[in-house]
Structure 1
Amino acid sequence: MRIRRGVYLPAAAISAGAPRWETARKITQARAVSLSVFKSSDFPPVLTAEAALALHDLTSWLETTDIEYLRPGAPWRGNVKKLPAIVCNGTTVAAVAERRVPSSSITETTKEVAGILTPPLWAIGVDSARLLHPMAGVVAMSSVLSRLTDFDMYRQRQSRDREKKLRTKILAYIDSLPPFQMSRQTRKIVEIADSGMDTPGEGYVLWLLHCIVRDAENGYFATGSGTAGATHIFTQFEIRANGSRYFADMAIPAHRVIIEFDGGEKVSTRHGQYEFLKRQDDLRMAGWSMIRINIFQLKDPLGLADNLRVQLRDCGVPVV
């Protein structure tokens, strides 16, 4: 499979039965590694943002990502190269742009992954927060926090302690720098991002909630007495109901509201359907209101925002 002129990937590198997302990620990884054609330069590229996440085998919003990189010290030329679409085992991976970012990374420190230079993982998250759409930034930064804190929903106290320490260090580092373009937005995305995010769809919904819930805060990182405030949003929130232990995708405990993102896998089997209905009944009997969001609603963010506003307002949650 031709990645670019003079660079090919053996067809056997991707199994015939691989799901679409895995095929797309492996192609992105191959495209990223193909940046090594620049290695003979005095200014080797430093891969960042979503392509760098793919190199680390981490989740980002897009399956097929642009290849964004920095070239510290090199004269600026606004060069954008197009990498062609690739058909692999019946799956078409779309064409993407290979683009040099017209700024420096948040840090000069680099590390090598598969022969390509990248910023440290935490800095890739921050670069994503400042370079991408805020929603994609939340998804990317959440993936980074989850990996670096080794998040475990069954050991949340320890996981959240690690997350809080890491987030505090990242925010302190951002605050120590001279103000840069999008610095306030970048800081806010780091505050919103959450290691408990399990899928890109959940990251999308988490971002949207912070857009429409008045004075929303990440509950695990909120300042104050430690109690759940009226607009504190928690991910993977533990609830015990009818003798069972459940984890809500997102919850606003002060109003006993759960927001669940349904990607489809929860009800793909008969047993899954039974567990899904039992979980829903147990939580409702325990006094929780449930707002369900499916993957198709993500295609209409304005419509989804309006729908969420109505349902949250009915539950007493202050919205804007």
Structure 2
Amino acid sequence: MIDLWKVREHLVVSTRATAKRCAAAQRGGELTRVWRQVLLDTSCLAGLGHQWRVFELATVARAFAVQIVLGPRAVISHQTAALCHGVEVRDELMDVHVCDPRARGVGRMVLPRIQLPDFSAGIGIVPEARLLRHQTRLDPAWMREGPAGLRLVDPVTAAVQASMEQAPREGVIVVSGTLRQCAAFNRFSEKVETSRAREEEVRELLFRRLREAPGRRGVRKAMAVIAAADAACESVAERELLWILKAAGFREVRTQVVHVAGRKEYYVDFELPEHRIVVEFDGEGKRGRSVVEILRSYDREAIRQKDLEALGYIVLRAKGRELRSPELIVGEIVRRAGLSRPPRPVRPLGGR
């Protein structure tokens, strides 16, 4: 989770009195422009390592810059607010959303690319993004004063906004992350059923907020997205795979289901009980870093697969690169399940 205080402390607002000093610092690489007169001290980018971490910090810095320039009546919203609340989003979602009742006629503006120093994971720049100003009037009860004075909508409102206005894939990712965070979902410290009960309470709150939201555009899609979201998905990639399976039309998709094989308990990422299929996601870094860790991981995986197959399940594995080709994942399930044709896609979820 990005430290909002850290980002705010590294922002500099250029004034007439400091313009020359700020310009010199930009030329030297100590400052980089975020938007208009707002600059970022590049030292806060050191040590982030991964591209998605850099993009997250850049998006949060842009959110602060937008509020500094537009003033307190502009409230950070949609998936930008979700990110500021600590919900992981795809690194492609770099646009900044803000609810601003004064935004008539100026709905979209461009946020410039951000030049990065040499030590920032070799990325070079953060591409330009859009500033999307929504004319939505918000109930004051839906707003929060976040850390470092950032005004933003609460997590529930942010998730509902994303479900209504984002593509279903992105909506499922944001809503699933919000469900997980708000329900404090944790299968390690308590029974899964306990977390599931809290998840359904939060889901009902999302539906209630959707009914209260102004405007009806995107409501049908939002209802499908909120119903499809799942707090048990532990990463953005797993939430993306969840969307693929549900949009494809598989009627029952269970997550984090426990199976007992002898004295061992296995929690599987996804289960399609109707077809006796288990889908496991192989995420980056899951196998460890050293050669020994990787070999041990492969050994555990082979034993796990044999035990699940002994219980009568077909075990499929999905990798991150396959998420960009959902038809390949769906086609493999259809083939291994022995289906004559794929299920009927769920159109509100973006199924074709």
Give the alignment's TM-score, normalised by structure 1.
0.85
Q: Secondary structure at the match of 1:292?
A: strand
Look up the match of 2:277. 257
Unaligned ranges ≥5, structure 1: 217-231
Look up the match of 1:150. 184
CA RMSD of aligned residues (A): 2.5
- CA 210–105 in structure 1, closer or farther in 2 if over 3 Å, else same: farther
Task: Tell me, yes or no, if structure 1 residue 121 matches structure 2 residue 152.
Answer: no
Look up the match of 1:138. 172
Give the letter aligned to residue 273 of structure 1.
Y
- Report how far residue 290 of structure 1 moved: 1.2
* Partner Cα separation in structure 2 for residue 63 and residue 302 of structure 1: 21
Q: Secondary structure at the match of 2:323?
A: helix
Greater shift, 160-169 or 7-16, is seen at 7-16
- Report how far residue 61 of structure 1 moved: 2.2
Task: Tell me, yes or no, if structure 1 residue 47 matches structure 2 residue 47.
Answer: no
Which of the two has higher C-alpha Rg?
2
- How do 1:25-174 and structure 2 match up within 5 A? 25-40=56-71, 44-63=73-92, 65-72=94-101, 74-88=103-117, 89=120, 90-91=122-123, 92-104=125-137, 109-113=142-146, 114-154=148-188, 155=190, 156-174=192-210
* Partner Cα separation in structure 2 for residue 282 and residue 86 of structure 1: 51
- CA 185–105 in structure 1, closer or farther in 2 if over 3 Å, else same: farther
Identity %: 22
- CA 17–117 in structure 1, closer or farther in 2 if over 3 Å, else same: closer
Greater shift, 100-109 or 286-295, is seen at 100-109
- CA 173–12 in structure 1, closer or farther in 2 if over 3 Å, else same: closer
Give the alignment's TM-score, normalised by structure 2.
0.78
* Partner Cα separation in structure 2 for residue 28 and residue 310 of structure 1: 41
Give the letter aligned to residue 80 of structure 1.
M
- Report how far residue 192 of structure 1 moved: 0.5
| 2:156–2:209 Cα contact (<8 Å) kept | no
Unaligned ranges ≥5, structure 2: 1-31, 289-293, 345-352
* Partner Cα separation in structure 1 for residue 90 and residue 62 of structure 2: 18
Q: Could you report, residue by residue, the CA deviation over 1:259-307 in whole angstroms, capped at 9, with x for unpaired residues?
A: 1221233334222222222211211112111121111112223344333
Match of 2:319 among 282, 287, 294: 294
Give the letter aligned to residue 152 of structure 1.
N
Q: Secondary structure at the match of 1:239?
A: strand
